[in-house]
Amino acid sequence: MFTGIVTDIGRVDLVEPAGDTKFVIASSYDSASIAIGASICCSGVCLTVTDKSPEWFSVTVSAETLACTNLADWAVGTEVNLERALKVGDELGGHIVSGHVDGVVEIADISADGDSLRFRFTLPDDLAPYIAPKGSVCLNGVSLTVNEVDATGFGINIIPHTQEMTTFGKARAGDRVNLEIDVLARYVARLAESSALKETL
């Protein structure tokens, strides 16, 4: 379990395709505190540490994960938002994030909005019911608040601090981004769906 508060920007140092794909990610994390088998959220995807050294850790990614996320776009040099797993007693600064990606959206546009940047994202029809103004979403592992939603997509403001502390400071229109919907939105939508079904019976 995670919070969507990024604590390091890693870098892909090795991509090794095989039956599954191995990624070696350079990080400033203290590797002595990372157990083999630990979960780390990597740009929104919960991945298991399979090896480590003082300067890096490695993860193994299945073909299913590559197909359902933007990890297939990763190459040597790709920067990755990182977050260690939440511990009991940690401050919950963002919102509850599982690291299970619901879909991949595209950055449609980036424009200046004061000192912030206004991002517009595409929105697949199957995920549209779960995105609401002022609601939370996790994009590439970052907990963010939705500004507006319409038929073509949704908008989010990213403040200078978030630009500096995450990969969004270097993002470009056309980039593919991992989206995880808010777990509360998922259950509210499910309850509404169940209620509607009962009314038709």
Residues 8, 82: contact at Cβ < 8 Å? yes
Predicted confidence at residue 199, as pLDDT, reads 66
- Cβ neighbours around 51 below 10 Å, total: 12
Spatial CA neighbour of 137 closest among 154, 152, 117: 154
Predicted confidence at residue 113, as pLDDT, reads 95
- Does 98 map to a domain? no
pTM of the model: 0.92
Residue 33: give its domain's CATH number. Answer: 2.40.30.20
> What's the CA gap between 47 and 133, in Å, rounded?
30
DSSP 63-119: HHHHHHSSGGG--TT-EEEEEEPP-TT----S--B-S---EEEEEEEEEEETTEEEE
> What's the CA gap between 173 and 196, in Å, rounded?
38
Residue that is last in its domain, among 53, 84, 115: 84
pLDDT band at 27 (very low <50, low <70, confident <90, very high): very high
> What's the CA gap between 141 and 180, in Å, rounded?
8
Write down the H helix ranges in the chain.
Answer: 63-68, 160-165, 183-200
pLDDT (tens digit per residue) in 54-81? 999 999 999 999 999 999 999 999 999 9
Q: Comparing 134 with 90, which gets the higher pLDDT?
A: 134
Task: Say if residue 116 is in the same domain as residue 170.
Answer: yes
> What's the CA gap between 71 and 26, in Å, rounded?
16
> What's the CA gap between 30 and 4, in Å, rounded?
20
- Does 166 map to a domain? yes
pLDDT band at 93 (very low <50, low <70, confident <90, very high): confident
Task: Say if residue 47 is in the same domain as residue 107.
Answer: no
Task: Say if residue 19 is in the same domain as residue 108.
Answer: no
Predicted confidence at residue 91, as pLDDT, reads 79
Residue 44 belongs to domain spanning: 8-84
pLDDT (tens digit per residue) in 145-182? 999 999 899 999 999 999 999 999 999 999 999 999 99
Give the count of domains, the chain: 2
Task: Among 86-95, 145-154, 186-195, name the most confident range.
Answer: 145-154
Spatial CA neighbour of 97 closest among 174, 34, 41, 23: 41
